[in-house]
Amino acid sequence: MDLSVNARLSVQEGLPEAWEQLLPPEPPRHLRRRWLSFAVRRMPGELLALSIPGATTVGALVRTPTGRRFNDPYLLLAEGCPEHQDRSERPWENLAESEVLPSLALTTPEYAFAASGDAGSVAALLTQTEDWARGQGAQTLVVLYVPEASLSAAFLREAGYQSAVLAERCFLDVTWVDFEGYLGSLSASRRQSARRELRQHDAAGLVEQHRFLRPHEPALVELLVRHAERHGTPLDQKGAESLLHELCAHFGPRNLDVFEVCTGEGTVVNFATFAREGSELVCLLTGTDYDRDDARDCYFRTMFYMPAAQAFDMGIASIDYGIGATETKVGRGCRSVVMLSFRKHLQDRA
C-alpha cells in the first residue's frame, strides 16, 4: 500500500516490486531485499519503504511498545539494549509512552540504520520523512544503530537530533593470508590460549569440517535447540528445522558456510553458520554440545579460528559478528564499533 502524502516522497508498506530500481548498483547490505525480507519479523512494526529520487531508507511506525527488545524504540531508549545494559544510555527512562509514541523508527531487521544516496539526498529524504511522520501523528522520529563515527551520525547531529549510546557491533577485518597471520594479530596471551585449545582438541580426536549448509540437518537442529534452551530463547525442534529450511531457501545453500568441530566418529560437537554477501561473512547461528567440558573452546574454534583461517582463500575481507559479547569478540581480534540512537521530537511539547 502506498501511503505517500507528498508528490516527492514515496512511503509504501512492504518492499515494492521495483525496490532494486530505487537502489544504487552496490547498495548497503542492510538494504538488499534478501536481508530486509529474511528477518522482517524483527521490525517493530510493518516495514515501510521510504524514498525520494536518489535516496531510500526503511523503518516502521510504532504506536505502542512491541516487545521486540532489540528494535523497539521505546524499549531501547527507556530500558537500554539487552546485550549492553552496562553501556546503553536511557534518555527515555523517565518518560511515559504517551510522551514519545507514536514514533517512526528508522532501522532494519539486522539492527542497523541504512540509507542509500549522497549526503544531500539523504538529508532531503530525512526532512520529508519528518514531515510525513508528523502528518501520521508521530511524536518522535528515532534512528537506531548508527555507527558513532559515520557520515550518518554527522548529518543527524546537524539536523538537530540528540544521540545516545545504544550498543556495540563487532567486525573482524581480514588483514592476513593464513591462520598464523591471524594468530599474529592477537595478544600474546590470547595466541597462547588458542594454540593450547587446538592442541587439546587434537589430543581428544576432534576434527574440523567446513561445508555448505543443507536443508536437512538433524545434528545441527539438536544443537540449535540446546543453545536456545541455554540462553532462554524460545526455539523448539520444529522451529529449528524451519529456520534451517528458511535459510537455505532464502540465501541458497552455497551462500551459507558451516564450520564444525566433530568427534572422530562424526558427531557434531559445535557449529557456526555464516552467510556470504560479496566479500563479507555475516554470523547467523551457532550451537554447542554443552555436556562437554571443552564446549567453550569448541565455540571459539568454529566462531573465530576456522573462519579466520579460511577467510583469505574464500575472498572474505570482513566478518560481521553483530552486537553482544563484545569482550569475547574483541579478545579474538575484532574491532568494536559504538552504535548510537538518534531522536527528535516532532510535535510541539507543552
The string of DSSP codes covering 202-270 is HHTT-EEEEEE--S--HHHHHHHHHHHHHTT----HHHHHHHHHHHHHHH-GGGEEEEEEE-TT--EEE
Q: Which helix (DSSP H) or strand (DSSP E) does residue 142 occupy? A: strand 140-147
296 within some domain: yes
- One pLDDT digit (tens) per residue for the chain, 350 residues: 555 545 589 999 999 999 999 999 999 999 999 999 988 999 999 999 999 999 999 999 999 999 888 999 999 999 999 888 888 999 999 999 999 999 999 999 999 999 999 989 999 999 999 999 999 999 999 999 999 999 999 999 999 999 999 999 999 999 999 999 999 999 999 999 999 989 988 888 999 999 999 989 999 999 999 988 887 777 889 999 999 999 999 999 999 999 999 998 999 999 999 999 999 999 999 998 888 887 778 889 999 999 999 999 999 999 999 999 999 999 999 999 999 999 999 987 65
Q: Do the domain assignments include residue 35?
A: yes
Residues 29 and 135 in one domain: yes
Both 187 and 295 in one domain: the answer is yes
Is 323 within a domain? no
- Contact of 129 with 136, CB cutoff 8 Å: no
Instruction: Give me the domain span that covers residue 262.
Output: 175-316
Q: 127 and 224: one domain?
A: no
152 and 123 in a common domain? yes
The closest of 180, 203, 265, 250 to 35, measured between CA atoms, is: 250
2 in any annotated domain: no
Asked whether residue 1 is assigned to any structural domain, the reply reads: no
| Domain-embedded: residue 326 | no
Q: The pTM is what?
A: 0.93
The count of structural domains within the chain is 2
